[in-house]
Amino acid sequence: MSKIYAIANQKGGVGKTTSCVNLAASLVATKKRVLLVDLDPQGNATMGSGIDKNELELSVYDLLTGRAKPAECMVLSESGQYQVLPSNGDLTAAEVEMLNLEHKEYRLDKALKILEPQFDYILIDCPPSLNMLTLNGLTACDGVIVPMQCEYYALEGLSALIGTIEQVRAVLNPSLKIEGILRTMYDPRSSLTKDVSEQLTEHFGDRVYRTCIPRNIRLAEAPSYGLPALAYDKQSKGALAYLALAGEFIRRNEADQKAELKAAS
């Protein structure tokens, strides 16, 4: 059974899509089977995976509106070697159409249950706003990974996201939790970065990933070539950081699974 994680933050520009694409590629590098779900109508995760969003025959839009089966919508990222449920601007229309559909918050959940046996990890790139698409992502996942910059406004955005997660847990997905906080665009020389890091650790403890993603030119350049950093420059600090994150991510998952089994017995 695969583990499903939404990569979400209601504040834009925090490295959400970058983290989704590069974590997917790094997990593949550790021999894991990975599916990336692009739930953002901008289609940045799709393009960053080397898939032209303007040439798609089928997309997440067709999946959510019942026009196509999950397997029909999947496309292989040649550069990252993970499967993608891609998106483009058509997805904006899905929000309106889904309002009249039965069980509208569970459309993605239903689709992913069909695909789960094929993958070890499913990563969902959510839009930077609370809408029907984000609700579908939060309803379908086991936990939320929150990428955030270590700055004051990011803490405010995190508070809003926590409120959203609590509401979704109460109404739609009782098992929803924050899986981890990922510090992105990290600059260890900044005193603000250190202050915010300390506050995060104080509030979230070991839910804050030890791995930090640095500001890195190669990491920023890679999406314009439709490549994860690992395929663009595997020796870059950004690529190495996401490889380290994948290792930490897998170890944490294995530890959590052991703890769950022990509790169950």
**pLDDT tens digits for range 208-237:** 999 999 999 999 999 999 999 999 999 999
Which residue, 4, 132, 11, is CA-closest to 20?
4
Model pLDDT, residue 244: 98
Average pLDDT of the chain, as a whole number: 93
Beta-bridge partner residues of 75: 84
- Centroid of chain to Cα 55: 23
What pLDDT, in 10s, does the model give residues 158-196? 888 899 999 999 999 999 999 999 999 998 888 888 888
Model confidence at 203, pLDDT cuts 50, 70, 90, reads confident
Coil, strand or helix at 113: helix
State the Cα–Cα distance between residues 104 and 136, nearest whole angstrom.
Answer: 8
Q: Phi/psi of residue 207, each to 5°?
A: -75, -15
Query: In order of start, what are the domains of the chain with their CATH numbers?
Result: 3-264 (3.40.50.300)
Q: Which two tokens stand for residue 107?
A: 């459309």
Higher-confidence residue: 101 or 251? Answer: 251
- Taking residues 109-134, report their average pLDDT: 94
Q: Amino acid identity of 46?
A: T
Q: Sign (positive/negative) of CA torsion 186, 252, 81, 131?
A: negative
Helix boundaries (H) for 189-236: 191-204, 217-221, 229-232
Model pLDDT, residue 96: 85
The DSSP element (H or E) to which 123 belongs, if any, is strand 121-125
Q: At residue 257, does pLDDT exceed 80?
A: yes
Model pLDDT, residue 156: 76
- Taking residues 244-256, report their average pLDDT: 94
Beta-bridge partner residues of 83: 35, 76
Q: At residue 24, does pLDDT exceed 90?
A: yes
Contact 1, 116 (CB under 8 A): yes
Which residue, 89, 24, 29, 33, is CA-closest to 61?
89
